[in-house]
Amino acid sequence: MLHLDWKTCLRAAVTVVAVWLLVHYWGTLAGGVMLAFHAAAPLLLGCVIAYVVNIPMSLLERLWPRRAPRALRRPVCLVAAFALVVLVLTALTSMLLPELARCIQVLVDKLPDALNTATLQVEQMLQNSSLPADASTNLQKALPDWNGMIGQGINLVLSGVGGAMGKLAQAIGSLFSAAVMVLVGLIFASYLLLGKERLARQCTRLMTTYLPKGITDRALYVLDTINDSFHSFIVGQCIEAVILGALCTVAMLLFRLPYASMIGVLIGFTALIPIAGAYIGAVVGAFMIFTISPVQALVFIIVLVVVQQLEGNLIYPRVVGASIGLPGIWVLAAVTIGGGVMGVGGMLLGVPLAAALYRLLRHDMNKRTADPDPVLSD
C-alpha cells in the first residue's frame, strides 16, 4: 500500500496552488516581470557594458608593469579600457556612418533608373516574343510604374511630417531617459569592474552557503562555460569582421571595381552577424555595382565568393570557429533560431549561447558514457 507522509502531501498541495496562481494571474505576473525588467534596465545595461569593457581591461591588467604601483593598476586600466572602447566606437562611427549614408544615397539615386531599365527590357522582350498580341499587351500593362510607386511612397512619408512636431517633446523626453539610463549604466559598470573579484567571491560564498556543493560546482561550471563562449565569440567575430572587410576592399581595388571602400566597410559591418551578415552586404554591394555595370557586378560576386572561401576556410576556423568550438551546422541553426526570436540581437546572442550549450552537452555525454560519440567529443 502506498504510504504518503504529510510532507509529500504538503509539497503536492503547494505545487498545485502555485500552478493555479501562475495560470490564473499570468497577465498580472507578466506585467510585474516587465515592470521589474524596465526598472532594472540601467543595471542590466551596466552589466553588459562591464562585460564588454572587462575584455580590454583584463588585457591591460596583464600587461601592467611589475614595478609600477599595484594600487594604481585597477583604476588606470579601467579608465584606459573605457577610453579604448570609446575610441574604437568613435572611429567605427566616423568610418561607418558616412559610408552607410553614401550607400543609401547611391541606392536611392540609382534604384528608380535600374528598375525602369529592367522594366523596359522586359517590355522589349515581350514585344519581340512569340506570345499572342493580347497576352503581350496584358503583361505589359501588368508591369508596375516604378516612378509612380516611388512618388507615392515619398508623398506618403512627407504627409506624416506635419504631425512630427507634435511628437518632438516625446522624442526629447525619450532621449533624456535614454541618456540617464546610459549614465547610470556606466556608473554601475564602473563599480562592478572596480570590485569584480570581491563580487565574485561574495556570489560564490552565497552559493556555497545556501546550495549543496554539487549544485554549486555545476552552476559555476555552467557560468564559466558561458563566459568563455561569449568572450571568444565577441573577440573572434570582431577580428573576423575587420579582416573580411579589409580583404574585400583590397580585392575590389585590385580589380578596379567601383565603391570599393564603401562596400568593404558595409561587408565588414554586416559580417558581425554570423554567416548571414556577409551575404547581406554582398547583395547590397552587387546591386550597387549592377547599376553601373552588370559585368562588374558579376566580377564582384566572383571575387567576393573567392574571398569568402579563403576567409571561411583559412581565417574563420582559426579566429572564431576553433575558439567557440561549434560546428558550422549548429552555427547556422543558432543564427536562424536566434534571428527568428529576437532579430539581429538574437543572431548575435544565439551563436555563443549555442556554443556554450554544445560544450555542456558534450561534457555531460562524455561523463555518462565510456564510449563517447566522436562527433561530440572532438
Q: Where are the domains of the chain?
A: 32-111+176-210
Helix, strand, or coil here: 8? Answer: helix
Could you tell me which residue, 119 or 165, shows the higher pLDDT?
119
* Separation between Cα atoms, residue 90 and residue 99, nearest integer Å: 14
Cell of 102: 553614401
Residue 297 binned pLDDT confidence (cut-offs 50, 70, 90): confident
Residue 244 binned pLDDT confidence (cut-offs 50, 70, 90): confident
Say what the pTM is.
Answer: 0.67
Residues 6+ apart with CB under 8 A from 45: 181, 182, 184, 185
Cell of 86: 570609446
* Separation between Cα atoms, residue 163 and residue 166, nearest integer Å: 6
pLDDT reading at 133 higher than 80: no
Mean pLDDT for 73-101 is 82
**Angle between the 168-194 and 41-62 helix axes, to the nearest 10 degrees?**
40
Residue 295 binned pLDDT confidence (cut-offs 50, 70, 90): confident
343: left (phi over 0), alpha (psi -120 to 50) or beta: left
pLDDT reading at 161 higher than 60: no
- Report which listed range, 191-205, 265-279, 360-374, is most confident: 191-205
The residue among 277, 314, 285 whose CA lies nearest residue 301 is 285
Contact in structure between 308 and 271 (CB atoms under 8 Å): no
Cell of 181: 539610463
CA 280 to chain centre: 14
Residue 180 binned pLDDT confidence (cut-offs 50, 70, 90): confident
Mean pLDDT for 240-255 is 86
* Separation between Cα atoms, residue 36 and residue 29, nearest integer Å: 10
- Report which listed range, 95-104, 260-269, 310-319, is most confident: 260-269
Mean pLDDT for 330-356 is 79
**Side-chain-facing half-sphere of 334: CA atoms under 13 Å:** 23
Least confident of 64-68, 159-163, 253-257: 159-163
DSSP-derived secondary structure for 97-115: HHHHHHHHHHHHHHHHHHH
* Separation between Cα atoms, residue 352 and residue 359, nearest integer Å: 11
In this predicted structure, what is the pLDDT of residue 22?
Answer: 79
In this predicted structure, what is the pLDDT of residue 1?
Answer: 46
In this predicted structure, what is the pLDDT of residue 235?
Answer: 80
In this predicted structure, what is the pLDDT of residue 294?
Answer: 81
CA 117 to chain centre: 36
Q: What is the CA radius of gyration of the chain?
A: 28
pLDDT reading at 140 higher than 60: no
CA 353 to chain centre: 12
The residue among 141, 154, 168 whose CA lies nearest residue 111 is 154
pLDDT reading at 62 higher than 50: yes
pLDDT reading at 359 higher than 70: yes
Query: Cell numbers 556554443 label which residue?
Result: 355
pLDDT reading at 27 higher than 60: yes
Least confident of 162-171, 283-292, 345-354: 162-171
